[in-house]
Structure 1
Amino acid sequence: MNSAIFTDSTAIPTIHNDAKRTIKDSVFRNLFSQKEYLLQLYQALHPEDKNATKADLEYVTLQNIMINADYNDLGFLIGNRLMILAEAQSTWCVNIIVRCVMYLAQTWKDYFIRTKQSVYSTTALNFPEPELYVIYTGNEVIEKKVLRFSEEFFNGRQVAVEALVKVITESNKDDILSQYIVFAKIVDTQRKMYPGDSRRAVTEAIRICKDKNILKAYLEDREKEVVDIMVTLYSQEEAVEQYVISKQFESEIKSAVQSCRDFGKTVAESISYLMKRFDFSETRSQKEVEKYWNL
């Protein structure tokens, strides 16, 4: 897999492979592509650092790692810190730790290339201290605030590689991360309230968030962009779901036809059976029997 590290003093580069975009990935990255909000994110994680400015922030985001599925990423440098944040959106799985480690390894590799350092040199490498975070926007209760690689995968035994990943979930704080998590949950709730009407669900979620002063400035400034991002993603998700359903249904029809054949039913009896079981027309049933009878 080809990966490229991006460093930019202004914004995260646009990824042109739309097939790899996901809703909250896009909103997450879109939100924090603005230095104003990225600084707020950093200050939420390090409130003790009162002197950080937008000029201190440098994006470090990989193009091809952790972009697919429900795991999304953001990487940036500030001082001697390398901050990597991965968003887990739906069902919780500790595999996110491995993804964070993979992301970190690739980021370090590209960092050494960019800074012209060699791992084969006799000079000790100079690289920023990593911090790994998972931003969880799903509904499961995650008890642990810090995940250890060795504990989750090797029963706490000492192994050659260790990694600590801090888990950020919804809280009573009013910082930018907490607001984003609340925003994501409100979006999910509205989707359930308006199934099949993505645009209404999104616009209603944005209205609620603005009324509650949740990401208000960002949503007022980029509302149309946010709606477009999310509606596009929902359309992709729904298309995938329909494809899966259609493939499952096709498999069920095939199985029914072959079961009729194997149990000695005639073609005519099989057509009649499909008409009753699937509420098909006679023409549709005949086509399905012809399609699968000799397979």
Structure 2
Amino acid sequence: MKPKRTYKDSLFRDIFNDKRRLQRIYHALTGKLIPLNEIKITTLRGTFFEDIKNDISFMAGNDFIILMEHQSTLSENLPLRMLWYISKLYRQRVTPDAPYKKTRITLPAPHFYVFYNGTDDAPEKWTMRLSDAFKENNRTLELEVTAFNINYAKNGELLQKCHDLKCYSIFVNQVRIEVAAGKTLRQAITSAIRYCKKHDLLADYFASKEQKEVFDMVNFKWDWNRAMEVRAEEAAEKASAETADAKTTEFVINMLREHEPYERISRLASTSLENVKKIAHNNNLAYN
């Protein structure tokens, strides 16, 4: 049996799954200082296609919930994805019967951020809205996402405010420089890690990680088309297995009707003796 496919964490998600770094990035985004004990990480940790998994989300006190996504490919559907994320986070926060209560339920106000570091041109900062997806000019439902271009070459304002984010951007940029120079991705990552350690750029993080761990996280890239391909592959595998089982069952039934010994049927059908007996019982063909 093949192991169940699960999604690997991205390097961004792994680096910022840390309250101290979230404290600093929150300050850079909002200008507000928040005590470390008021940060609660709420990141959704889906394990398979049907599960919802976001990059980072956390509570800032009891009043705000911050959702952050890292993107290497531009997508105009981030507001819709953020809607899914916040819906699930709210459902985790309240009881199933809460929406039916008379008294208003207090919810933390959400803030949505996207950090883009792909190779396509993009402004330093822009806004995406859910209402842009509506065919008609209708704003009865709105969700606004603030997006930042964090490519180090842009040397943007946000990177100057958040050292951790700047370090991450330098690492990604360094990997690209090494690849452009002719190195393999694995060699480039190794060289970029060495560079970051030497210049004290997330040095504590990289010191705590094996190079293979970092390679796996950088090498893994969310690709919805590939996700659908994998789902199709697994569906085909399941259908193939079901077809094989059906053919085995048909073969065993035919042999049972000839009153062949169970052991011989098991050997010829390449199936267990227990399965032969089960098929015999289920089809009223059992005999001693």
Range class of TM-score, shorter chain: 0.5 to 0.7
Deviations 1:216-265 (A, max 9, x none): 3332x3242xx22232356767xxx9xx9xxxxxxxxxxxxxxxxxxxxx
AA aligned opposite 1:222: S
1:61, distance to aligned residue in structure 2 (A): 1.2
Contact 1:82 1:130 in 2 (8 A): yes
Equivalent pairs counted in the alignment come to 210
Question: Structure 2: how far apart are the matches of 1:34 and 1:141?
Answer: 30
Please identify the structure whose Cα radius of gyration is greater: 2
AA aligned opposite 1:179: C
The sequence identity of aligned pairs, in percent, is 22
Matched, 1:34 2:23: no
* Pick aligned residue for 1:129 from 73, 94, 109: 109
Matches within 5 A, 1:242-261: none
2:68 corresponds to: 85
Q: Secondary structure at the match of 2:208?
A: helix
1:141, distance to aligned residue in structure 2 (A): 2.4
Contact 1:194 1:200 in 2 (8 A): no
Q: How large is the RMSD of aligned CA atoms in angstroms?
A: 3.2
Deviations 1:140-164 (A, max 9, x none): 222352111213x237812331110
1:222 corresponds to: 208
Q: In 2 relative to 1, CA 145–211 (structure 1 residues): closer, same or farther, beyond 3 Å?
A: farther
Contact 1:61 1:75 in 2 (8 A): yes
Contact 2:65 2:108 in 1 (8 A): yes
Q: In 2 relative to 1, CA 83–233 (structure 1 residues): closer, same or farther, beyond 3 Å?
A: closer
Contact 2:17 2:56 in 1 (8 A): no
1:286 corresponds to: none
Deviations 1:112-144 (A, max 9, x none): 13xx87111111011100000111121222235
Unaligned runs of at least 5 residues, structure 2: 151-155, 230-288
AA aligned opposite 2:144: L
Contact 2:71 2:118 in 1 (8 A): yes
Contact 1:169 1:178 in 2 (8 A): no
Q: In 2 relative to 1, CA 102–189 (structure 1 residues): closer, same or farther, beyond 3 Å?
A: farther
Deviations 1:154-191 (A, max 9, x none): 37812331110010222153312233233233334434
Unaligned runs of at least 5 residues, structure 1: 1-16, 245-295
Matches within 5 A, 1:54-65: 54-64=36-46
Q: Secondary structure at the match of 1:93?
A: coil
Q: In 2 relative to 1, CA 155–236 (structure 1 residues): closer, same or farther, beyond 3 Å?
A: closer
Question: Structure 1: how far apart are the matches of 2:18 and 2:182?
Answer: 31
1:192, distance to aligned residue in structure 2 (A): 4.6
1:190 corresponds to: 178
Q: Secondary structure at the match of 1:62?
A: coil
Question: Structure 1: how far apart are the matches of 2:15 and 2:169?
Answer: 12
